[in-house]
Structure 1
Amino acid sequence: MADQSVNETFGKSWTWMAVLAVICIIGGFLALLNPFAATIFAVTLAGWVFLLQGVVQVIHAFRVRDWPGFFWSLGLGVLSLLVGFVLVADPLAGSVSLTLLVAVLFLLTGAAKIMFGLSLRRASGWVWVLVSGVVSVVLGAMILAGLPASAATILGLLLGIELVSNGVLFLFVALGLRKLGHQ
């Protein structure tokens, strides 16, 4: 009986997941159509998040002034404020820093996946881990090779791909929830 009420609850929520899927897919295609605008939007949004986080961190630091970590907490808050200000004030310049960070992240995660894949040689599927690592390293190298010009669009392209990918995932989840509700 409890399973049926859970199924009904999930079954009724499928439309919200479908709406989220459509929003992600449309947003993803818009980002892919204009990756420069999507890059600027993403960098500006990240800047505002850093600013908000910095304000909260500084306020928190002063609320626990007697704490031994006060200066570290205050320093991190001020650093977040500075990063946020730089990203909001000049999102194009900020996109270079964030794109460099993404490239390095791709290189490091790719190297880690390659090492992990090689350590799994006796397990099935190890080749896919290795291939994924090689793809990440190649993407990281391509981004680095294109800097600073790639910074104007690469974050927008990655955002667009991620949004479309999430939208497709959410659409399949919504269809599964709908089917669950009809059982």
Structure 2
Amino acid sequence: MHDDQLGLDTRWVGFLLLGIVLMICGGAAVWLPSKSTVATSTVLGAVLAIAGAVTIVQTFQVKEWAGFVWQLLCGAAEVVGGLLIWLNPIKGAAAITLLVAIVLVAQGLAQLGLAFKIRPQRGWGWLGLAGLACIAISAMLVLRFPFPNVSAPGAMAGVALILAGIAYMILAVGRLKARSEPPS
């Protein structure tokens, strides 16, 4: 059965709110870590964990959705990665950089899986683009390893969260538009 026939097109507000939360967390990751070395990993870990928790909560609002498992994996990657970073804030810039790179690869792969799972829906391409951006940002972190600036991994992870937020907002708009169209 198609997702819109399951009544999921009425849940566009959840996707919109998730997009907004991801953008706010991404903005915090970009802006706050530049304030101090310890704040980099502490803030980055906290915003990733918060973003992941909100993603998981929103995922359980759309259990019937074709992208349920993949979105759940995105949230889980963010929560686990965020907690690992937050619990070890002073392990050194190199460890933080590699951990952020690993979290971004996991998040990017989950977002790509989600995008392909929901492919016929509006906005799927933006989720795919956000997944590719996560993987590209991860590659940039690894290629520039060891990173000379501790705050850069947090800022780069913030950009990935902002892109994911935009993707979810576009997905919400697509679901809203689907509500107003007659069934085919």
Normalised by the size of structure 2, how large is the TM-score? 0.47
Larger of the two Rg values belongs to structure? 1
Higher helix proportion (structure 1 or 2)? 1
Normalised by the size of structure 1, how large is the TM-score? 0.47
